[in-house]
Amino acid sequence: MIKKLSLRLSAAAVALMIALFSTALCFAEVTQQYAIEDDAAIFTDDQLDSLRDKLSEGNERTGWQLILHTSSLGITSELNNYYNKNYYDQKSFAADAVVLVFDLGSNKGTVISHGEAMDYISDQRMSSLGSMLRSYMDNGDYYGATFAFVDTLEQYHSDGIPTGDTFDNITYEQKTNKFLYVLKHYGIIIGIAAIAVGVIMFFVIKSKYKHMGVSGTYDLAANSSVNLSDVEDQFVNQYTTVRTIKDDSDSGSSGGSSGGSTHGGGDF
Amino acid sequence: MATMNYVCPNCNGPLKFNPDKQMFTCEYCFSEFTPQQVQAQNAGKEQRETYDEREVNRYEQNQAQAQAQGYDAGDDYPVSYVCPSCGAEIVTTSTTAATTCFYCDNPVVLGGRLSGQFNPDRVIPFALSKENAVNRFLEMCGKKKFLPKGFTNKDHVDKMRGVYFPYWFCDQQKSALLTATGKIIRTWRSGNKEYTETKVYHVVRGGSVIINNVFERALQSEKREMLQSVHPYDLSKATPFAMSYLSGFEAEKRDLEKADVQPAVEQRMHNYAEQVLKNTMEGYDTIDTESFSEQTELEAWTYDLLPVWVLTYKFNDRILPFAINGQTGKAYGELPVAPGKLAIASAIVSVIVFALGVLGGMLFL
């Protein structure tokens, strides 16, 4: 009797766990081909089914993991960096991936590209993609936006890497040739610093050859003595001043920083 | 005439002072003599030559008058003497008191230059041999990678010469009084407040201050900085002056009198006395002088000769001296830099820094 009861309880526990797991899957579904996290709960079950198919299809054609994420956080600026750091970097997504985020709290969105996808989504393409997605968002058509998003990515992949475009304001050649990039963007600064180091070295060494041994020619302590007859230390007054110390945490850390892994993309 | 050299009583060879042994040695028979022995042997001769030197003094006075009248613009005019060993004519500057005959290489002391009112009170004999001075110089040069080629070759370094330079030394005992404002400052923090407590004291120190061995060079023709910077010397090793110590070295006669250097020395003594009293005001974080007064009670001046190894060289049309204290080995001087070598090294460093900068930038991309 007790044995039967414990068996039933175990079965109930397993059923409960399965039920809970299934519920969780409704909110977050992640595969190697795609991922959907509808935290803002804007899609119906039917829409989610269609979107799964669409994202899966996009993955097959591009090889990139396509991720759709909706939220209500209301991030108003630097969405790209924020969601890259606090969403993409926190999950175990694929290295070659594109994330589409709709932030309903701020009515803004962002596209985050990673790995190979970064080479295909140039500044110009991102701008075009963003404008298109913006128009869908303005109509509240997130479902249509996602379809258009996947279609556009497939088109970009089909068209190949736009070597004539820029990526974060640098050309593809510069992007792939780090040496050229550093040389072009920082060459003058590094060159000036290097020349400054050389010049400083020149004069420091030259000065070390000059007038060695000038100091310490007379030792006053060794050549003097004193016999004191008047010694007076008279207290005159005392005062105290107070100064408010500025908290270190008040200073610095102004302005945003692009934290998180290397990524591309842009807000819209 | 008016010159003398010190010869070995055994073989008549020239005697030179050996800094390593602190003895006089004969270069021919290797006999050794103490300074006292040499002085005793040559006392009569020194006195006689000094007497004859009156002629020279007269000659030099005439020269000085001639300069004053504008016939000779140079301060350090040439004077000729006859070498007592080989009879050759020796031409020296008017302040040279000891030298070496350029023909027979024997040491010659121009006795009259350091007699009478020019007789030094003390001399510190050379304690550093030429070999050690040269080694010290080469050791210093060895660490310098940008010297001109051939700068440290033997021919050049062998030109190093031992010279006794004249200095004035002054000792004073002063009665001094210093009043000052002393502050003791304590700082502590509480929360985000920093408190600074300042206690102010009226501080007085008075008494007898003794300051010894303040020096000033007594020769204006040499670079002042060089002559001042080879100090300090250990004056406890100074001995009463004897002409014989100069044998084998060069020596300079003073051309700055006590009156010429006294104002500068007095000023330094004044500052030193204040500093000595200030140093007794212990326990204060800051001390600001309100008033300081002093009066000299006792004063003593001496005229001394101090040993210096000197190597001069010409570089880019400049004649630069390098001096080494003949007692302690302390070095002073300016070494020449080969600009080409240094420029190449600096350029290489610049290129390396540039390459590292670019590589660093690539890593951060």
| Domain boundaries along the sequence of chain B | 163-334, 337-365
In a domain, A253, yes or no: no
Q: For residue A83, give how far its alpha carbon lies from the nearest alpha carbon of chain B (Å).
A: 21
Domain count, chain A: 3
Whether chain B has a CB inside 8 Å of the CB on A257: the answer is no
How many distinct helices (H) and strands (E) make up chain B?
6, 15
HSE of B44 in the Cβ direction (CA atoms, 13 Å)?
1
What is the reported pLDDT for B364? 75
Query: A186 vs B198: CB contact, 8 Å cut-off?
Result: no
Residue-number span of the structural domain to which A201 is assigned: 177-208
Same structural domain, A161 and A71: yes
* Closest alpha carbon to B183 in B269, B284, B50: B284
- Taking alpha carbons only, the member of B14, B53, B325, B2 closest to residue B165 is B325
Full pLDDT tens readout for chain B, 365 residues: 345 677 788 887 778 888 888 888 887 888 888 888 887 777 766 655 544 455 456 556 656 665 665 655 445 555 666 776 676 666 666 667 677 766 666 777 766 666 667 788 999 999 999 999 998 888 888 778 888 887 888 777 888 889 899 999 999 999 999 999 999 999 999 888 999 999 999 999 999 999 999 999 888 865 677 888 888 899 889 999 887 888 888 888 888 899 999 999 999 999 999 999 999 999 999 999 999 999 999 999 999 999 999 888 777 777 778 889 999 988 888 788 888 889 999 999 999 999 999 999 888 76
- pTM of the entire predicted model: 0.59
Q: Do B192 and A213 touch (CB under 8 A)?
A: no
Residues A24 and A53 in one domain: no
Q: Which residues of B touch A241 (CB under 8 A)?
A: 195-196, 198
- One domain for residues A56 and A142: yes
CA distances from B3 to B7, B56, B227 (A): 13, 10, 27
A24, A43: one domain? no
Q: pLDDT of A147-160, one tens digit each?
A: 999 999 999 999 99
Q: Which residues 235-294 of chain B have a CB within 8 Å of chain A?
A: 272, 275-277, 279-280
Chain B hits for A190, CB-CB cut-off 8 Å, are 353-354, 357-358, 361
d(CA B251, CA B273): 33
Distance from CA of B14 to the nearest CA of A (A): 35
Percent of chain A with pLDDT over 70: 78
pLDDT at B73: 43
| Cα end-to-end span (Å), chain B | 86
Rounded mean pLDDT of A237-248? 85
Tell me: do A39 and A11 sit in the same domain.
no
| pLDDT of A129 over the 80 cut | yes
Q: For residues B94 and A205, which has the higher predicted lDDT (pLDDT)?
A: A205
Asked if residue A155 and residue A43 are part of one domain, the reply reads yes
Q: Measuring CA to CA, how many Å separate A223 from each of A215, B83, B179?
A: 17, 42, 23
CB A241 within 8 A of CB B194: no
A78 and A124 fall within a common domain: yes
Query: Are A35 and A157 members of one domain?
Result: yes
pLDDT of B115: 65
- Confidence check: pLDDT of A202 > 50: yes
| ipTM passes above 0.85 | no
Instruction: Provide the 3-class DSSP secondary structure of residue A89.
Output: coil
Using an 8 Å CB-CB cutoff, list chain A residues near B357.
Answer: 186, 190, 193-194
Does A48 share its domain with A156?
yes
